[in-house]
Amino acid sequence: MGPKKILLTEDQMPRQWYNILADIKLNPPLGPDGNPIGPESLAPVFPMNIIEQEVSTERWIDIPEEVLGIYKIWRPTPLVRATALEKVLKTPARIYFKYEGASPPGSHKPNTAVPQAYYNKEFGIKKITTETGAGQWGSALSFACAQFGLECEIYMVRISFDQKPYRKNMMEAWGGKCIPSPSPATKVGREILEKDPNTPGSLGIAISEAIEAAVTDPSGKTRYSLGSVLNHVMMHQTVIGLEAKKQLEAINEYPDIIIGCAGGGSNFAGISFPFVLDKINGKQIEIYPVEPAACPTLTKGPFVYDHGDIARMTPLLPMHSLGHAFVPPPMHAGGLRYHGMSPTVSQLVSEGLIEAKSVTQLASYKAGVLLARTEGIIPAPETNHTLACVIDEANKAREEGKEKVILFNWSGHGLLDLAAYGKYFQGELKDFELSDAEMEKSEQVFANFPKPKLLKSR
Amino acid sequence: MGPKKILLTEDQMPRQWYNILADIKLNPPLGPDGNPIGPESLAPVFPMNIIEQEVSTERWIDIPEEVLGIYKIWRPTPLVRATALEKVLKTPARIYFKYEGASPPGSHKPNTAVPQAYYNKEFGIKKITTETGAGQWGSALSFACAQFGLECEIYMVRISFDQKPYRKNMMEAWGGKCIPSPSPATKVGREILEKDPNTPGSLGIAISEAIEAAVTDPSGKTRYSLGSVLNHVMMHQTVIGLEAKKQLEAINEYPDIIIGCAGGGSNFAGISFPFVLDKINGKQIEIYPVEPAACPTLTKGPFVYDHGDIARMTPLLPMHSLGHAFVPPPMHAGGLRYHGMSPTVSQLVSEGLIEAKSVTQLASYKAGVLLARTEGIIPAPETNHTLACVIDEANKAREEGKEKVILFNWSGHGLLDLAAYGKYFQGELKDFELSDAEMEKSEQVFANFPKPKLLKSR
């Protein structure tokens, strides 16, 4: 038996991110007129150096030294052999996980928050705005902005703001300003509050407020930041998979199966894209994004053009979608409650390079508790979905008598989600079923939009 | 500039704990009759293999393989150079910290919880009881018991139980049973509830209930566990300092100053005792335990014989004490709200081998926020006391123009203490002053107890 944790030194950290746009084709984003939009139309929202990354087709992009310097606060993250889990499952599979809960905010999110803060600072920006639902992304960006001396303004969905004061305190500890959304600080916020002063808010409203706050700042020194979905975000996260590859190489292993949960797609992309490259080059690997059965974007939503937000402020993106007005049931895995999916992840599904799975809420918590009691770490509710799929595959390997190597991404710890575990133990969590009628209704919103082409990268 | 983090491989982990009882003399614990007690009198409370460790004077004690196996979930912990802090302080000091927040429960506590669970299991014990105030220790023991398949029953001070549901959820995630104290489950609990059904509870009551539950279990398969103060607990924590020593050696550094906060003394003992050995052997090092000004056990309490608990169930221990009935003000660093201090730490103070410092609450939180915004990690409120002292020493080094090497123990992260940070930002935290009259009054409880001798180890 080898070591429990396979570590890399800071010298062994990847020096470049992997950009999957060098290896797959995407349908272009479309503007309101239905025509492809150019990078310049995004300039009021994002700094130009990030927009260049968003559209780049270079395969390898250098990670700036300053970003590596901050990554070193918690990276390289360990690759851990889940020996205790293997033992209770009596599986011949060898199971490894990349532990991304080691970052100060507790998830993989700072992998992109840090470079985004860096590029904004390089471009002369003084303040970044963003939205946050459950609070993971807002905390990660607040952490990153503190490292570069940038202001950070986070519009947090009001109901989460009220229910999760810890997340707000966390953002404040790093100097971020956390504003309940809708707020009187923006035009869109004021309009909504006038109609419904007691609205709980929504991610759609918060996005609209954050974008408005960025584009209307008269100084021109404010930009907006997004924590998932976009190409550059997926790319920044590939540091996870690139490290994992080196770590597995060091012990002469290569994965047969790769698993990561998918909400907007970024933690899944992080662990899997470097291996998707190998698969494109002929390797045999099963790669599974896992989503909640209550928000089955990849497993039930069609591949269409749709908006990334309910307020329709974003361009039309080619992706699997449940419809931009879809409101997922109130299940406790905030990071997976998103109607759409990263265009790159969606494209890989449409080409059959990866195969989506879905997991119910109760099955996910059951898996999370088993992992807490074996591997010792309490997982984030999002990670629980990954774990349920990992356990399924490990059981399958036992039934088949096969020594498979399973790699998964432990995207975060659950220390700020313990209330949801409490509800699970009290029997207060339930599964959600979506009816076909509900699905059909929510999908009407993109019925009249252009359709993406079926592209083949090979 | 070297690496940000100095890592050890699992192969480089210490294989033995350092037992300071080989190098210092202690006054013996006394029974109710004022005579020294023998190990056998503790047998109903602790398993005999732990009692043997408690009284051993062997300098090096082997760490069992099974304990090393669980340590590997998070150990060796990184030694981190606080480069960002050095920069903002413009100090010539080189500052290093051992990061113990990396453990699944988020603090140094599992360093002793894991061996305690292991030795209980080895001794044939099926269930461990303990008390917990803020919840750190209860979570650590719950985590450790899950690893060895032991039952864990935690009596949590009722007011904390009600105010900090996350900690209870955490214990439950690891399979622990968390009971608000006082409870109807014990005789002492029933008596107290009868007199005052609405009592908020206290650590003293919780200790009494946990001990009663252990010693009255008719199966004889239940024992009690303590998370600090005792000799074996201090010893288990030395894995921290032994690792730090190897890590500093690897970069040719040796500390001039060592700092750790002290409540019962265990995280301080963990980082410092292996270096105290060097000091006994002639090395020049300043070693500072740091306590809250609101609970100044070492800086203001005398060196006496006193009970470890308010209910006077423990033997009389030779230690600095504010009196076993002392109730510290409600400051937000639960782990430092203890009237007494480990006999070993107390002995080192009385011999002048270490020098205690105290820090006010507001100064501690100010330091914590600076660290969150520089080194990126949100510290536990206990750690904040360490940090305030570190900053003082780093500033002193700047004023003196000296390149001092400062080592400190980052005992835990503050992710479950964010509510206290919220209060700090709202201006709702305050400093506490203890009057001489209050001190004098609280110290009357040990006026008639025997006095410890002034022993010199060298």
Distances (CA, A) of B396 to A193, B256, B288: 53, 13, 15
- Strand, coil or helix: what is A424? helix
B205 pLDDT exceeds 90? Answer: no
For residue A5, give the nearest of B3, B72, B375 by CB distance: B72
Is the Cβ of B176 closer than 8 Å to some Cβ of chain A? no
Label residue B332 by pLDDT band (50, 70, 90): confident
Q: What is the ipTM of this complex?
A: 0.95
Query: What are the chain A neighbours of B165 within 8 Å (beta carbons)?
Result: 418-419, 422
Q: How far does A90 lie from chain B, in Å, by closest CA?
A: 17
Least confidently predicted of A98-107, A122-131, B305-314, B405-414: B305-314
Interface of A with B in 271-300 (CB under 8 A): none
pLDDT exceeding 90 applies to what percent of chain B? 87
pLDDT at residue A274, as a whole number: 98
Binned at pLDDT 50, 70 and 90, residue A244 comes out as very high
Q: Which of A100, A418, A428 to mutate to test the interface with B (most CBs of B within 10 A)?
A: A418
pLDDT of residue B204: 80
Q: Which of B164, B160, B156, B204 is nearest to B183 (CA)?
A: B156
Tokens of A366: 């059951």
User: Shortest CA distance to B414 belongs to which of A169, A435, A453?
Assistant: A169
With beta carbons under 8 A apart, name residues in chain A contacting B11.
3
Sort out which chain B residues have CB atoms less than 8 A from A175's CB and list them. Answer: 373
Using the Cβ of B376 and the Cβ atoms of chain A, whether some distance falls under 8 Å is answered with yes
Distance CA B226, CA B245 (A): 27
Query: Are A418 and B69 within 8 A, CB to CB?
Result: no
The number of C-beta contacts closer than 8 angstroms across A and B is 121
Q: What are phi and psi of B312, to 5 degrees?
A: 60, 35
Closest-CA residue of B relative to A69 is B4
Contacts 24+ apart (CB under 8 A), B448-455: B449/B304, B449/B305, B449/B306, B449/B316, B450/B30, B450/B34, B450/B305, B450/B316, B451/B304, B451/B305, B452/B27, B452/B303, B452/B304, B452/B305, B452/B318, B453/B27, B454/B350, B455/B24, B455/B25, B455/B26, B455/B27, B455/B347, B455/B350, B455/B351
Q: Are B230 and B342 in contact (CB under 8 A)?
A: yes
**Higher per-residue confidence, A308 vs B377:** B377
Nearest to B295 by CA among B316, B321, B318: B321
Under the banding of pLDDT at 50, 70 and 90, the label for residue B1 is: low
- Of the residues A77, A169, A369, A423, the best mutation for testing chain B's interface (the one with the most B CB atoms within 10 Å of its CB) is A169
Q: Scan residues 232-261 of B and list those with Cβ closer than 8 Å to A.
A: none
Q: CB-based contact (8 Å) between B22 and chain A? A: no
CB-based contact (8 Å) between A38 and chain B?
Answer: no
Q: Does the structure show a pLDDT above 80 at A4?
A: yes
Q: Does B78 touch chain A (CB under 8 A)?
A: no
Of the candidates B423, B413, B419, B340, the residue with the CA atom closest to the CA atom of residue B136: B413
A410 in reach of chain B (CB within 8 A): no
Which tokens sit at A450? 């252009």
- Cβ–Cβ gap A372/B146 under 8 Å: yes
Could you tell me where the beta strands, DSSP code E, fall in B174-285? 177-181, 222-224, 257-261
Residue pair A129/A213 in contact by the 8 Å Cβ criterion: yes
Q: How confident is the model at residue A262 (pLDDT cuts 50, 70, 90)?
A: very high
What is the distance between the alpha carbons of residues A310 and B95, in angstroms, rounded to a whole number? Answer: 49
Region B206-229 average pLDDT: 95
Task: Record the pTM.
Answer: 0.96
With CB atoms and an 8 Å threshold, state whether B376 touches A4: no
Q: Is the pLDDT of residue A128 over 70?
A: yes
Q: Rg (Cα) of chain A, in Å, rounded?
A: 21
Q: Say yes or no: B2 contacts chain A, CB-CB below 8 A.
A: no
The answer to whether B373 contacts A421, with C-beta atoms less than 8 Å apart, is no
B175 with A425: Cβ contact below 8 A: no
Mean pLDDT of A345-357: 97
Nearest CA in chain B to A423: B169
CB B237 within 8 Å of CB B267 = yes
Go through chain B and tell me how many residues it has. 458
Which residues in chain B are contacts of A146 at CB distance < 8 A?
372-373, 376
Of A133-147, A331-345, A370-384, where does mean pLDDT reach its minimum?
A331-345
Instruction: Tell me which chain B residue has its CA closest to the CA of residue A142.
Output: B373
Long-range contact set of residues A179-182: C-beta below 8 Å, sequence gap at least 24: A179/A153, A179/A154, A179/A155, A180/A156, A181/A131, A181/A155, A181/A156, A181/A157, A181/A205, A181/A206, A181/A209, A182/A158, A182/A206, A182/A209
**B126-156 confidence digits (pLDDT tens):** 999 999 988 999 999 999 999 999 999 999 9
* Percent of the residues in chain A that have a pLDDT greater than 70, as a whole number: 100
Average pLDDT in chain B: 95
pLDDT at A1: 65
Kindly determine whether residue B376 and residue A143, on different chains, have CB atoms separated by under 8 Å: yes
Q: Containing H/E element for A6?
A: strand A5-6
Backbone phi, then psi, for A276, in 5-degree steps? -60, -40
Residue A350's pLDDT is what? 96
- Contact in structure between A303 and A350 (CB atoms under 8 Å): yes
In percent, the amount of chain B with pLDDT more than 70 equals: 100
Cα separations (Å) of A435 from A430, A442, B379?
Answer: 16, 11, 46
Token pair of A266, please? 């970024």
Cβ–Cβ contact A220 with B under 8 A:
no
Check CB contact of A104 with chain B, cutoff 8 Å.
yes
Contact check, Cβ <8 Å, B173/A369:
yes
**Placement of tokens 């205790």 in the chain:** A84
Query: In terms of pLDDT, which residue wins out, A159 or B385?
Result: B385
Average pLDDT, chain A: 95
Name the residue among A165, A173, A422 with its Cβ closest to that of B169. Answer: A422
- Using a CB-CB cut-off of 8 Å, the residues of chain B touching A65 are none
- On the question of pLDDT at B278 being above 70, the answer is yes
pLDDT band at B311 (very low <50, low <70, confident <90, very high): confident
The answer, for B417 touching chain A at a CB cutoff of 8 Å, is no
Across the interface, whether the CB atoms of A373 and B421 are under 8 A apart is answered no
Nearest CA-CA distance, residue A376 and chain B, Å: 6
φ, ψ for residue A419, nearest 5 deg: -60, -40
Residue of A73, A99, A374, A424 to mutate, interface with B, max B Cβ within 10 Å: A73
Closest CB to B369 among A69, A173, A425: A173
Any idea which of A205-219, B137-151, B229-243 has the lowest mean pLDDT? A205-219
Domains and CATH numbers, chain B: 5-12+62-106+234-446 (3.40.50.1100), 20-60+108-231 (3.40.50.1100)
